[in-house]
Amino acid sequence: MHIKAGDTVRVMTGDDRGATAKVVSVDHKSGKTIVEGVNRVYKHMRRSQRNLQGGRLSKEMPIQLSNVLLVCPSCGKPCRTGARLTKQEAKERFCRKCGNGIGEIAPPPDKKAAKK
């Protein structure tokens, strides 16, 4: 899964199809993500000491990672991503449309640790 918190994504399916927004959090175990302003639901809250007013609170619910595509920062289009090694042997994400790197996934391996 090549989507991280803070990435800009486009929603491809559902009621909010076509919306472009920022990722708030990603749960890789369940394969879901929370996107800012997407898949909003109302939670009805009773009056209490903690919530004095009560009423309806609007909150974002998770959506499947398969329903969003990362928006490439260089070409500005939603694209699939891949992983490749850089010249320093660090792993990075890249846009499959334009080929530009998006960000580092893993740092390069330590050469001294590999010899021991």
Mean pLDDT of 32-54: 92
Q: Which CATH number fits the domain 1-71, given the four candidates 3.40.50.720, 2.30.30.30, 3.30.465.10, 3.40.50.1970?
A: 2.30.30.30
Helix, strand, coil percentages for the chain (3-state, nearest 5): 5, 45, 50
Task: Note the pTM of the prediction, 2 decimals.
Answer: 0.80
CATH 2.30.30.30-classified regions of the chain: 1-71
Residue 112, pLDDT score? 54
Q: CA 77, CA 82: separation in Å to the nearest integer?
A: 15
Using pLDDT thresholds of 50, 70 and 90, give the confidence band for residue 50: confident
Nearest to 82 by CA among 64, 105, 57, 52: 105
